[in-house]
Amino acid sequence: MIPRDPVMLLSYVNTQLRDFYSSLDAFCEDKDISREELVEKLSSIDYQYDTVTNQFV
């Protein structure tokens, strides 16, 4: 299950991206979640996806 709390979500997503996925799109497709909703939720705590590092920073 994917965390609902934005801070916990940030930690979970970044760990998943680092350890298992080459891109945010691959993560979202595999987990069957909306990329737009994920990006919006993490932007609410001032984090944006960086394609170069494949992390939310």
* Cβ neighbours of 7 (radius 10 Å): 11
What is the pTM (predicted TM-score) of this model?
0.95
CA dist 19 and 5 (Å) reads: 21
Give the mean pLDDT of 50-55: 98
Q: Domains of the chain: which residue ranges?
A: 6-56
In the chain, count H helices and then E strands: 3, 2
pLDDT in tens, 13-49: 999 999 999 999 999 999 999 999 999 999 999 999 9
* Cβ neighbours of 3 (radius 10 Å): 12
